[in-house]
Structure 1
Amino acid sequence: MVNCNDTIQIPGIHVNDRANADGKPGVKPATWRAAITGMVISMVEYLALLQARARDRHALQNLDDQMLKDIGVTRADIEQELAKPFLSDFPWRG
């Protein structure tokens, strides 16, 4: 099999250029600042998710039995959810 990049020579087009098929420049490698910024944003988003979960658990705790019946949840389900540790869904690597 022949590599067409070796056989076809078109002026102005180089194999090593970072360009897409539509001629737009390709994605540059991330800098350390961009990487750290991305990690900080991810941590803030995760903390916001944890806060939202805590708020939802607290709201469920304050519902009366009729409202729980309307949404199909029992008081035992609520107690089980409230018994979970704060970081129960933390994405541990292992």
Structure 2
Amino acid sequence: MVNCNDTIRLSNVGIEDHEVANSSASEKSVPLRSAMVGAVIFCLEALRRLQANARDRKVLQHLDDNALKDVGMTRADRDQELSRTLWTGLPPRR
């Protein structure tokens, strides 16, 4: 039987190195530029989803009973969906 301690040797890694690697001092801060780019991307993605929600609801509003049946909805389902706000379903800001 082979002992794992004999087969894997990391001579330059000790307990002290492990503690330093997990400390909060080793965490890198996010540069302001990266944070701003992330916020802009989040806003653009939210606007895209709002636009898609508005487009889908506009199409849904004009469907007749046969088309609603084809997609598996009733008039009550359609009315319930149309009564929801546009921003329903957007991801929360992290």
TM-score of the superposed pair, with normalisation by structure 1: 0.63
Question: Residues 4 and 46 from structure 1, CA distance in 2 versus in 1: closer, same or farther, beyond 3 angstroms?
Answer: farther
Structure 2 unaligned blocks of 5 or more: 1-8, 15-27
List structure 1 runs of 4+ shifted beyond 6 angstroms. Answer: none
Q: Note the C-alpha offset of 1:90.
A: 4.2
Question: Residues 86 and 38 from structure 1, CA distance in 2 versus in 1: closer, same or farther, beyond 3 angstroms?
Answer: same
Cα distance in 1, alignment partners of residues 56 and 10 from structure 2 = 58
Larger helix proportion of the pair: 2
**Could you say what the CA RMSD is over the residues aligned between the two structures, in angstroms?**
2.7
Identical positions, percent: 47
Aligned residue pairs, count: 73
Q: Is 1:74 aligned to 2:81, yes or no?
A: no
Note the alpha carbon deviations across 1:21-76, whole angstroms, 9 max, x for none: xxxxxxx8642111101111111111101110111011011111111111111111
Larger RCO (CA within 8 A; separation ≥ 6): 2
Structure 1 unaligned blocks of 5 or more: 8-27
Question: Residues 76 and 6 from structure 1, CA distance in 2 versus in 1: closer, same or farther, beyond 3 angstroms?
Answer: closer
**SS at structure 1 position matched to 2:12:** helix
